[in-house]
Amino acid sequence: MNTLRAGFVGLGSIGKPMAKRLAAADAVDLRVYDVAPAPVAELTAAGARAAGSVGELAVAVDTLCVMVRDDDQVRDVLLQVLEVSDRRTPDRPLTVVVHSTIAPDTPAALAEAARTHGVRVLDAPVSGGPMGAAEGTLAIMVGGSQEEFASVRPILAPMGGKVVHAGPVGAGTKFKLARNLLHFVAFTAATEAQRLAEAAGLDLVALGDVVRHTDAITGGPGAIMHRATTAPIPEGDFWHRVLSHALALGEKDLAFAISLAEQLEVDVPLSRLALDRLGPGLGLPAGEGAR
């Protein structure tokens, strides 16, 4: 088995456990760098080797994973990589894999800037948080060519339970942004539900327990995300029957919840918007749920 020479920059709350998974993987020679010495010491204790700079990593490894805070830090890391690109030979191309969540247009711009230096850039943001990173169960959404995706997959596999080729460079970031849109809109809806429950005198902690329990069974919002299109659903289609049933339940329960909110004088704007848009969002006219 060939040894995979990998580097990791950015050993924060998610980057550190990701790097630890790589350090423990068979056939991975891992080197790490971070501006903070403590996480570097943890990784060396876990079997990785410490590098003195980003440039040192960029010369020594073939795949460089980057998990820093934001666009500016990603650009700074790439600049340090490109400054030493002439110290690499053409038979050893470097691939930089950006795990940070950055602006949707940044990956393509970085890839274009790096290409003239013989460096490949892929975007591969992750979902699953520190727990998923520690367990190696992250979802990793990769933007790049099919060939580039195949070349980095052995490095990503120890860190991810689901590694998805999202499309060309930039697609991984757009995939992550769509996923997080759902995440944080759902968080906002959860705060609306909490206000309603609190006004009704209910136990909010118990409500949270029920939500997590039932979402683990049903799949939560992802339960409806099986169609390959958002187009209207024709009658007779399998999904028309399934989602019209979901629409009927949703419209009924949303109407009851809004009525309760009115009685308790709780503002629930997302619930009202959901009642109006659930049907069209599912591909069905509002009010046409199965009764």
pLDDT per position as a tens digit, 135-157: 999 999 999 999 999 999 999 99
Please, which pLDDT band fits residue 288 given cuts at 50, 70 and 90? low
Return residue ranges of the chain for CATH 3.40.50.720: 4-167
Nearest to 125 by CA among 108, 113, 143: 143
Cα–Cα distance for residue pair 78/90, rounded to 1 Å: 18
Which residues are known catalytic residues?
176
CATH 1.10.1040.10, the chain: domain bounds: 175-282
CATH class of 175-282: mainly alpha
Helices (H) and strands (E) in the chain, counts: 11, 9
Mean pLDDT value across the chain: 95
The total of other beta-carbon atoms located within 10 Å of residue 192's CB is: 18
The residue-averaged pLDDT of 253-269 equals 98
Q: State yes or no: pLDDT of 1 exceeds 80.
A: no
Structure confidence at residue 2 (pLDDT): 81
Q: Is residue 201 scored above 60 in pLDDT?
A: yes
pLDDT of residue 291: 44
Quick one: 137 exposed, middle or buried, by C-beta within 10 A (0-12, 13-18, 19+)? middle
pLDDT score of 163 more than 50: yes
Q: For residue 95, what pLDDT is reported?
A: 97
What CATH number has the domain spanning 4-167?
3.40.50.720
pLDDT tens-place string over residues 9-43: 999 999 999 999 999 999 999 999 999 999 999 99
**pLDDT tens across 77-98, in order?**
999 999 999 998 878 899 999 9
At residue 89, the pLDDT reads 82
Pairing mode, strands 138-143 and 126-127: antiparallel
pLDDT of 287 higher than 80? no
